[in-house]
Amino acid sequence: MMGPGWYLRRLSRMGPAEVVGRARHAVVQRQWRSAPPTPPDWPSHPRFTATLPAGALDKVSGEAAKRLLATADELMAGRAEYFGVERTDFEAPDWFLDPKTGRRAPSAVYAFDVPYRSEDTVGDIKQIWEPSRHQHLTVLAAAYALTGSSAYAARAAEHLRSWWAANPPLRGPHWVSGIELGIRLLSWVWTRRLLDGWPGVAELFEENPDFQLQLWHHQNWLATLRSHGSSANNHVIAEDAGLLAAACAFGWFPESAGWRAAAMRSLDVQLGRNTFDSGLNAELASEYHGLVLELGLAAAAEADAAGTPAPDSTWDVLLRMTDALASIVDQRLRPPRQGDADDGFGLIVDGTATDRWASLLASGDALFGRLDWWPPVPADDVRTPLLASLVSRTPRVSGARPGRRQAHLRDAGMTILRSGPVWVRCDGGPHGFLSIAAHAHADALSLEVRHDGVDILADPGTFCYHGEPRWRQYFRSTLGHNTLELAGRDQSVSGGPFLWTRHAVTRVLEVHTPDNGPARWSAAHDGYAPALHRRTVDLDGDVLKIVDEVLGDQPPEEARLAFHFGPSVTVMLDGTTARLRWTAAPESPLVGAPSAGRPDSSVAGAPGAGHLGSSVAGAPDAVGGEGLIGSPAGAGQPGSPVRDGGRAAGSVAAAGRVGPATGGGASAGAAGDPLVGRVSGSLAGAVRTAVMELPSELSWTVHRGDTEPPLGWYSAGFGRKEPATTLVGSGSPGLLTTLLRFS
């Protein structure tokens, strides 16, 4: 649990209106403890009319249906995976069990007394919450809709009845957080819709007093305790989307019309506040851009289907978000890995091999129409035709759209430099959203570099939120990103796992992004005031030049420049020259998708791709042909200088598979040498290379899988991490030039 200091810091980031609002919420929560609210009478003959239009299912491609059924069959066999932890109890899941720690959250405690932030008490709350979003039930329901097999429907019904019985209103951990209730409502709407035609569906929903009780309490909770103030981020979008969808599809209560109107107004306002004019999500966390867009599209489509359409301003924000996504993705349709990511999805009706981002762009194409500059998008997901079938008219366009692909999204401070297969993201934007910047990282002026979709200089990701504070701190630290750290501290000051008390201010100084020819970006930030860090990046063909300068009368004497490589990149460091090697991604776009709600593995070059039960690429049981690269004794050890002429990584080890490095050092390679780099996956494909000339003014060390302190890690998805090579140059700041040349 958080200590008194955290609560004081959190309070300091609230305005007067938020303090008053939170006080009102506390009063309501005390009242509900002794006198829970009572739902009105259930209508005598409720009818569900929010069904799919005739022919909607016929538009689902055979390939999309095949992927969906493969996932549904895994669920029927009792297998599911959440955040890298496989479960085999999904025939009859324990809704309170954290399989990672083995702990079980209290189920009979008043919801607002559950210490959900304490892993010692409840386990990892994300592991407990995620299955109860019921997104695996929409997968089972979609499988029924496509096949007519009642086994899928019966299993979904069993899980719903089990959950309703185990989670009475306001009891246990599943009634604590509004985002969980909102997403769960959206899942119930689609489960009911997709089970239409199953003989037991009315008995499960309309004629079921347990569903009546749950449905009313979920909506009343959201209408009463909506997030606001410094917490009005993606949480409030999920709350509004769930309340709006449920009030439209299950509009059977006296309050339903009022709930629908209030949720629609709030969703319109909050989508606008959570989105820059450029269309990027204001939290500056790419995964949350996807979550908010999914939630917004699902809610707006639901309102259309109910004959109470959302205002044009709502659709215009969703249009801008879609065009922005099309602008920033790389050649494999992967967006940046900026800020926090917890693999959250708004609506899942697809199988695990369906790419989330391609699906969102396909939905944008169906709802708004693609522009000439959009990247090619495969239109073979389940969600797009079903979602589009609910919308009364397409394309839903009323505002102006970009005439060319946006390279510099000024208000968000994101700049994408492109040259052939080279994609570079430059971070010159605000630290984060609202006063707490909850999902921000201390990553000002950081870079991501990809070659044909493969992470070369990688953003290491997120890994965790609660329970492991030193890992939380590392993955959002300045040293954990491809930027410059001064005086051994972060650019922005953290006040807790979702709280920043001082935000570095960044200013973009120069941007030149022509359609062809050399591109340039330059920006500076004041996170180390009075010193100023300025970075200039030039991309000319296959050559990337990075210049770091520290300006000011008294710059800090200690500087560390970090470069984090993707997990598929092997690094050989010789003095200040790093030779890079990786296997090219396959010709077709790699896809990564939810495994009953989660991406579960990382294929080389495409984090998040995989299927239920697969292993992370590069683990000992990954695909054959993997080689691990060592170095001579004493050379390239984590935390130690690499001697001139020392071999770190540059050829494939003759031995077979060797486990990835763990602990504070490196595991042995084929000859017992310390591990510095490795190649993930098969080397049967084309091998790519690059050379990186590092600043000679700094002393360079190699890190991989260090734990004391953490350094040299890559998180392909929430709850998962694997060793990856990091180079750190230490010394005095000055004029530091780095050159990266692709072969």
Q: For residue 293, is pLDDT > 90?
A: yes
Residues above pLDDT 90, as percent of the chain: 73
Res 684: pLDDT? 54
Task: Tell me which DSSP letter residue 375 carries.
Answer: P
Which region among 303-317, 466-480, 569-583, 671-685 has the lowest average model confidence (pLDDT)?
671-685
164-196 tens-digit pLDDT: 999 999 999 999 999 999 999 999 999 999 999
CA distance 290 to 347: 11
Band of residue 45 on the pLDDT scale cut at 50, 70, 90: confident
Provide the 8-state DSSP code for 229.
Answer: G
SS3 content of the chain, % helix, strand, coil (to 5): 30, 20, 45
Residue 588, pLDDT > 60, answer no
Query: What are the tokens at 537?
Result: 């990046």
Domain 55-390: give its CATH code. Answer: 1.50.10
- Can you name the CATH fold of 408-585+686-742? Beta-galactosidase; Chain A, domain 5 (2.70.98)
Label residues 577-593 b or e (16+ Cβ within 10 Å = b).
ebbbbbbbbeeebbbbb
Structure tokens belonging to residue 370: 């693609």
The domains of the chain are located at: 55-390, 408-585+686-742
Predicted local distance difference test score (pLDDT) of residue 466: 79
Spell out the alpha helix ranges (H) of 177-225: 178-194, 201-204, 209-224
3 vs 612: which has the higher pLDDT:
3
Q: What is the pLDDT at residue 32? A: 96
User: Helix 356-368 vs helix 286-305: angle between axes, to the nearest 10 degrees?
Assistant: 40
For residues 358, 569, 447 and 665, what is the CA-based torsion angle, rounded to 10 degrees? Answer: 120
Rounded to whole angstroms, the Cα distance separating 416 from 394 reads 30
Identify whether the C-beta of residue 483 lies closer than 8 Å to the C-beta of residue 447: yes
Split at pLDDT 50, 70, 90, the class of 657 is very low
How sure is the predictor about 653, in pLDDT bands with cuts at 50, 70 and 90? Answer: very low
Say yes or no to pLDDT of 638 above 50. no
Query: What's the pLDDT at 494?
Result: 81
Residues 174, 465, 292, 72: is their CA dihedral positive or negative?
A: negative
Distances (CA, A) of 376 to 97, 359, 372, 424, 459: 42, 12, 10, 20, 25
pLDDT score, position 669 = 30
Q: pLDDT category, 670, cuts 50, 70, 90?
A: very low
Q: pLDDT tens digit string along 71-113?
A: 999 999 999 999 999 999 999 999 999 999 999 999 999 999 9
Confidence of residue 496 (pLDDT cuts 50, 70, 90): confident
State the pLDDT at residue 440: 87
For the segment 345-370, what is each residue's pLDDT rounded down to a tens digit? Answer: 999 999 998 999 999 999 999 999 99
More reliable by pLDDT, 503 or 272: 272
pLDDT at 12: 63
User: Which letter does DSSP use for residue 659 in this model?
Assistant: P
**pLDDT of amino acid 10:** 58
pLDDT 10s digits, 128-159: 999 999 999 999 999 999 999 999 999 999 99
pLDDT at 681 over 80: no
Q: Residue 72: its pLDDT value, please?
A: 98
Cβ(358)–Cβ(589) under 8 Å? yes
Confidence of residue 6 (pLDDT cuts 50, 70, 90): low
Q: How confident is the model at residue 742 (pLDDT cuts 50, 70, 90)?
A: very high
Q: Which residues of 10-21 are buried (b: 16+ CB within 10 A; e: fewer)?
A: beebbeeebeeb
Q: Which amino acid is at 48?
A: F
Q: Which of 577, 497, 486 is nearest to 532 (CA)?
A: 486
The pLDDT value recorded for residue 555 is: 76
Six token digits for residue 414: 């994101």
Residue 33 carries which side chain, given as an amino acid letter?
Answer: R
DSSP character string of 280-312: -BTT--HHHHHHHHHHHHHHHHHHHHTT-PPPH
How many CA atoms lie less than 13 Å away from 474 in the CB half-sphere? 21
At 665 the pLDDT is: 36
- Mean pLDDT, range 634-644, rounded to an integer: 33
User: With bands split at pLDDT 50, 70 and 90, how would you rate the model's confidence at 1?
Assistant: low
DSSP per residue, 558-627: -EEEEEEB-TT-EEEEETTEEEEEEEPPPSSPP----SSSS---EETTEET---TTPPPTTSTTS-SS--
Q: How many CA atoms lie within 13 A of 561 on its CB side?
A: 27
pLDDT of residue 662: 32
**641 band by pLDDT with thresholds 50, 70 and 90:** very low
Q: Does residue 534 contact residue 486 with C-beta atoms inside 8 Å?
A: no
